């Protein structure tokens, strides 16, 4: 069985590559080759800019695959390109969407695949929704063999999942913990969140590869574990041997200091998410996410501490945290001394 992965070196896709190889798949990756050192020796690498349609067309000329999976399509234009390029090239096309596409705010605490798709806060999510709509229409009208996969917050060895981080990743948040500095947690930290370790995700994903029952379906793949953000941060602290200090700040306040957080928080992390995973378990019998968050972050902590190249300092983000926290406490000290008069 042959598969072509567009991307293939990211947190999610690299775990899928490793597991698919162990299951006997013949894997080809297509990407620009910027992370060629992360490509296993027994994987073919096509060094192509996936946004160059003609280059992609030349690279797959005369070839066909049992599965083509695109891990780096984010826009409707890219989804339309894939339909055109791969319609006659594969028995199954897998599109990596996002669980952030689900309705915000939600009308039910538990998320299933038939939960409406609507996110007024985040363009990233709206683009993923439009991609799904294009691909679903192609399945209905053109028999394009699509399977849509919606990951939630999936992480791996090289990065600690945290509530808020800067452009250089999450290590600066860990540094703040280690230095005894407060870290910012959105809201009251009591909303529920679901973290999925990438090797657990890969078990569900590889079970969908070449699975005829998955054609025309959309399915999310997540852990069954739900944690409050406070508990998640305490787990991170335990992994590094410290007790973290929190400052709880509303998502609206944070977005006022950084507009990019409007999508990432109000369009995603500020909402409690509890996933019903019965569909992936039905499509992939035996699927189960076995790595709890406490164990996952211990693995991450050990790996990152042994690999200084993943300890990227971010002084700009550190200063931003200090300024936001100072502004928050300044507002608290300036609050009125008496409350409004109560009604009779």
For 7-16, the pLDDT digits (tens) are 999 999 999 9
d(CA 102, CA 113): 9
What ranges do the domains of the chain cover? 2-331
Asked whether 249 and 304 are in contact (CB, 8 A), the reply is no
Give the DSSP letter of residue 119.
-
For 200-254, the pLDDT digits (tens) are 999 999 999 999 999 999 999 999 999 999 999 999 999 999 999 999 999 999 9
* pLDDT of the residue at 34: 84
Q: 344 falls in which pLDDT band (50, 70, 90)?
A: very low
For 278-292, the pLDDT digits (tens) are 999 999 999 999 999
* pLDDT of the residue at 35: 80
> What average pLDDT does the segment 253-274 reach?
94
pTM comes to: 0.94
d(CA 163, CA 191): 11
d(CA 248, CA 1): 50
Asked whether 220 and 208 are in contact (CB, 8 A), the reply is no
For 299-331, the pLDDT digits (tens) are 999 999 999 999 999 999 999 999 999 999 987
Peptide bond into 316 cis (omega under 30): no
| CATH H-level, domain 2-331: superfamily | NAD(P)-binding Rossmann-like Domain (3.40.50.720)
Beta-bridge partners for 274: 110
d(CA 164, CA 183): 9
Asked whether 120 and 189 are in contact (CB, 8 A), the reply is no
Start-to-end C-alpha separation, the chain:
75
Mean pLDDT, the chain, as a whole number? 95
């Amino acid at each position: 069985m042959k598969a072509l992965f567009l991307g293939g070196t990211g947190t999610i896709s690299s775990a899928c590559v490793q597991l698919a190889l162990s299951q006997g798949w013949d894997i080809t990756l297509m990407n620009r080759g910027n992370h060629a050192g992360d490509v296993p020796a027994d994987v073919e690498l096509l060094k192509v800019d996936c946004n160059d349609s003609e280059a992609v067309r030349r690279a797959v000329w005369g070839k066909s695959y049992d599965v083509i999976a695109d891990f780096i399509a984010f826009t409707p234009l890219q989804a339309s390109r894939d339909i055109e390029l791969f319609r006659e090239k594969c028995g199954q096309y897998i599109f990596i969407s996002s669980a952030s596409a689900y309705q915000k705010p939600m009308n039910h605490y538990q998320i299933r695949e038939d939960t409406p798709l609507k996110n007024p806060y985040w363009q990233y999510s709206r683009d993923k929704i439009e991609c799904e709509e294009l691909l679903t229409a192609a399945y209905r009208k053109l028999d394009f063999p699509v399977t849509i996969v919606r990951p939630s917050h999936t992480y791996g060895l090289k990065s600690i999942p945290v509530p808020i981080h800067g452009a250089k990743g999450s290590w600066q948040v860990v540094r703040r913990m280690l230095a005894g500095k407060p870290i910012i947690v959105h809201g009251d930290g009591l909303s529920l969140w679901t973290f999925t370790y990438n090797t657990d995700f890969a078990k569900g994903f590889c079970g969908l590869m070449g699975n005829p029952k998955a054609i025309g379906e959309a399915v999310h793949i997540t852990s069954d574990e739900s944690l409050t953000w406070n508990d998640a941060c305490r787990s991170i602290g335990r992994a590094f041997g410290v007790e973290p200090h929190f400052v709880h700040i509303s998502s609206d306040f944070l977005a006022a200091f950084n507009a990019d957080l409007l999508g990432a928080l109000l369009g995603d992390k500020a909402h409690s998410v509890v996933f019903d995973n019965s569909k992936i378990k039905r499509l992939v019998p035996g699927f189960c996410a076995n790595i709890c968050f406490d164990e996952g972050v211990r693995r991450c902590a050990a790996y990152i501490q042994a690999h200084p190249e993943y300890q990227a300092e971010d002084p700009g983000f550190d200063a931003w945290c200090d300024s936001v926290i100072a502004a928050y406490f300044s507002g608290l000290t300036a609050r009125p001394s008496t409350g409004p008069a109560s009604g009779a």
